[in-house]
Structure 1
Amino acid sequence: MQSSRGPVVTTDITIREAGRGDLAEIIALFASDTVGGHGDTTAAEAFSDYAAAFEQIAASPLQTLYVATCEGEVVGTFQIALLTSLPGRGSSSLLLEAVQTREDMRGRGIGERMVKWAIEQARARGAAKLYLTSNMTRVRAHRFYERLGFERSHFGFRMPLK
């Protein structure tokens, strides 16, 4: 939401680890995203797939799924994963994944709060780098990430397996 003086900033945002009770709201965030092309849906028959993925993430010591809440409602989500590799003398990188702000809440600083939270987590975990990927069609998101200090660095490839 924009005012005539710029974006309306919401300051009463809480970022916390997601719980199973948040799953329906998280799924709704992804299902409403028509750009991502992930085929997410709120259909009841798909819930077990999401629940299984949630349990796998929750059981991993290297991954965490977060939600941003405002007045008790989930208004955003993101996931982080810590990766350690041999290049860089065994340094770790934090992967920031699945950043999503509820459409009616965009422009209020929620995405910025979530990304800055992830940056803090990367530093706290000793990561040498923070990575994220973004769909090439998300031009506004690219400007957003660049404004927060991210640099375009790699050319990505993917291979759908399902």
Structure 2
Amino acid sequence: MSRQISIEKARPEHLESIVSIINAGATTVRKDREFADWQDYRPAFEALREAPECDIYVALSESGEVVGTFQIHFLKGVAFKGRPRVELESVHVRANRRGAGIGRKMVEHAERLAAAANACIIQLTSNREREGSHLFYRRLGFEQSHLGYKKMLM
């Protein structure tokens, strides 16, 4: 149950589990474009942890197992009188733990962080292949308001 889940900033010892979770959920666009060795992700992980405008979090079971992860980015802008926007990225729950409220708890945590930063909006993108995720986000009050585009550079 999600009651036994804690959310905290990711530490180096969480990286292998984070990589495993996000790569297990890779969509078509990411398949065969990721590294096989989780250590290859260490520089990006450290850069993310050190950047003042973003953080990476984990959801931990009461035994300390990483069961979910998300990244949060605080974006500056002029709209809304310069209040920041929050972008959620790489929201993933371990496949065998989905449906237990972990994702909801992670998003609620991100919303509290956004409110504490006086953000005007919390936004995310979700690959069109993730129909279950789309239903999840709508249940949490997110609206599909924009049409997004991406261009792969690798």
- TM-score over 0.5 (shorter chain): yes
Is structure 2 residue 142 aligned with structure 1 residue 132?
A: no
Helix, strand or coil at the partner of 1:11? helix
Helix, strand or coil at the partner of 2:92? strand
- After TM superposition, the score normalised by the length of structure 2 is 0.93
Partner of 2:92: 100
Spell out, residue by residue over 1:31-81, the C-alpha distance to the aligned partner (whole angstroms, 9 max, x if none): 21143632465723x522x10100110110110000000021000000000
Q: In terms of Rg, which structure is larger? A: 1
Helix, strand or coil at the partner of 2:128? coil
- After TM superposition, the score normalised by the length of structure 1 is 0.88
Gap regions ≥5 residues in structure 2: none
Aligned-residue Cα RMSD (Å) equals: 1.5
Tell me which amino acid in the other structure corresponds to 2:103: G
Using a 3 Å threshold, how does the CA distance of structure 1 residues 12 and 151 change in structure 2: closer, same or farther? same
Spell out, residue by residue over 1:104-123, the C-alpha distance to the aligned partner (whole angstroms, 9 max, x if none): 00010000000011111100
Helix, strand or coil at the partner of 1:76? strand
In the aligned structure 1, how far is the partner of 2:35 from the partner of 2:44? 15
Matches within 5 A, 1:34-53: 34-35=26-27, 37-39=29-31, 43-44=36-37, 47-48=39-40, 50-53=41-44
Contact 1:28 / 1:42 at 8 angstroms: preserved in 2?
Answer: no
Is structure 2 residue 55 aligned with structure 1 residue 64?
A: yes
Identity %: 38
Using a 3 Å threshold, how does the CA distance of structure 1 residues 69 and 42 change in structure 2: closer, same or farther? farther
Partner of 2:70: 78
List, as ranges, runs of 4+ consecutive aligned residues in structure 1 with deviation greater than 6 Å. none
Matched positions, count: 152
